[in-house]
Amino acid sequence: MKRLPLNKTRILLLFIDITIIAASFYIAFLIRFDNKVPESIQIIFFQQLLPLIVFVRGLAFISFGFYTGLWKYSSIQDITKIVYAVSISSLVFLFILVAMDRVKRLTLTDIPLTVLIIDFLLVGIMLSSTRLFWRIWFERNQRKLSINNGL
């Protein structure tokens, strides 16, 4: 794993990704339960699942080198890294859920598989969109600077 130098920009990008991870996971529950997530599942969600998914995905994103490059130069290669990292972290998360079910720490019937599928799609789309938006915004500002400078 590459060493991650800490600076304000990288911390901001990590915070944005963590926010996306948490939001997409919660939105997946809302979509699955039609905005009426049972209270028993909400308790499990906030106490066990949310910290776990943020940790697993955050570790996967750092391992795949999400924060070593610059978002303004995002490319198809970065989107491919997102797909791989989200896929692997989803499988690891599912494996952990099965293990937790085996030791009776959690019941898998509380978490429908569709939530994991919806989350997989949402987090992939949201992460890709932020990088695409960042690149478009940067290129548009660069174009404005070039026009203003007579280039």
Query: How many other C-beta atoms lie within 10 A of the C-beta of residue 149?
Result: 7
Both tokens assigned to 58: 């955050």
Residue of 17, 19, 37, 16 lying closest to 28 (CA atoms): 37
If one compares 120 and 64, the residue with the highest pLDDT of the two is: 120
Predicted TM-score (pTM) of the model is: 0.78
- What is the tens place of the pLDDT at every residue in 46-83? 888 899 999 999 999 888 887 776 655 667 788 888 89
